[in-house]
Amino acid sequence: MQERNALESIYTATNGNGWALNTNWCAGKCPADVAEPQFNLAGTECQWYGVTCDGAQSHVLRIELGANQLGGSLPILSGLSKVTVFDVHSNQLLGPIPSLNQLHDLAYFSVYGNALSGSLPALNGQSRLTAFYAFDNDLTGTIPVLSAQDMLAAFQVNDNRLTGSIPSLTGLTHLESFLVSGNQLSGSIPPLDGLTDLQYFWVYGNQLSGAIPDLSNLANLIDVELSDNRLSGPVPALGGLTNLTIFVASRNQLSGNLPDLAGLINLSRFDVSANQLSGTIPSLSGLGNLFNFDVSDNRLDGPLPDWTGLTGLQAFRASGNQLTGTIPALIGLSSLNLFYVGANRLSGPVPVPPASLSGASLCPNLLSTTPSAADPLWNSATGNSPWWATPYPNNRCDDLFTDGFDA
């Protein structure tokens, strides 16, 4: 009876009559279109839409009402003491997340994509919790203590208005995704030592400061996104992270040299733009999956890297540095779409661009090559190539960009 009352409370509090699907739900008063007396009987809750019971049909184990046009607010859930899955994502729910203290068997909790407000609930008695999804709401307050959740694999509360610091993650050895981006968090990123299952780590779009923690023992990392914070110190070593696909730490206050990227065979996006990094650009050799590389607006010097074999490279951005030397031939970059190396100290001949190129910046630099009619993009009608002007004296940008090229 206690579980049935809790279900009826959910129906009543979230406008059950307006759900997209409410098959067999009664909640004390069956809606006219499903008014079948047999579903008014106690013990028939297991036949209500989105409700799953145990084998004996005596306890509710799962409530799955995601994307079902639930409105209103969630009621007290304490009567659902045996529930393992509670999923009401992508509805129109308002108000706070109720206490989860009595839901000791809860393993999966999903309320993302609503308009919930108030604070995140304490997670003190959910020792079996593996997934907690509350992203894309209007939640405030701090992130609760997570140290007791040693089974937690996914914690995603991104895109809210949370404040305070990131709690200790020590001991969360099963954690695979930790997404807290798009909030107002401050303080430092806690140590990530021992989180050997960690794959996705998003903290971008906050007010975090201090250093990026050591990542060297996190061999399963796939996606690390740290941009738009106040992080300082060096980019940590990435050697050995062969599963790493995305590393973004743009728009921070990072300094020091770029890390060695050798061996990161799955790396597709590397973006550390708009920092205070110095030294040279590391070798990109062997990064066959790289499609977006951005180190613009730093203090880098030395030559451009050799990009032989980067057949999938679509965007290369290194403008706004102090790079010197020549631009290597762009032969073989059959996917290159954007090429930005302006505002450096590059010199020598301008290479012929690949036919795939649609946006470029070479200016200002010290390049001074007159294009040839052999250039496949030579425009005989205007005398200009869409790649550079004719002639191209030192440090001139006049008419450098034509035919849709972005300066």
| Domain extent listing, the chain | 1-162, 291-407
pLDDT of residue 89: 98
Which position has the token pair 């010199």? 347
Q: How far, in Å, CA of 407 to CA of 396, rounded?
A: 13
- Do 314 and 335 touch, CB atoms closer than 8 A? yes
pLDDT of residue 313: 96
The terminus-to-terminus CA distance of the chain in angstroms comes to 69
Beta strand residue intervals within 60-144, DSSP E: 60-64, 85-87, 108-110, 131-133
Same fold, 1-162 and 291-407: yes
Instruction: State whether CATH 3.80.10.10 applies to domain 1-162.
Output: yes
- Do 87 and 68 touch, CB atoms closer than 8 A? no
Q: CA Rg, the chain, in Å?
A: 28
Half-sphere exposure of 399 (CA within 13 A, CB side): 9
Instruction: State whether CATH 3.40.190.10 applies to domain 291-407.
Output: no
Q: What is the DSSP string of 75-95?
A: ---TT-TT--EEE--SS--BS
pLDDT of residue 348: 84
pLDDT by position in tens, the chain (length 407)? 678 889 999 999 999 999 999 999 875 454 444 445 555 566 688 999 999 999 888 899 999 999 999 999 999 999 999 999 999 999 999 999 999 999 999 999 999 999 999 999 999 878 999 999 999 999 999 999 998 899 999 999 999 999 999 999 999 999 999 999 999 999 999 999 999 999 999 999 999 999 999 999 999 999 999 999 999 999 999 999 999 999 999 999 999 999 999 999 999 999 999 999 999 999 999 999 999 999 999 999 999 998 988 999 999 999 999 999 999 988 889 899 999 998 999 988 778 788 888 888 887 777 755 444 444 443 434 444 444 443 333 334 443 333 333 33
pLDDT of residue 1: 60
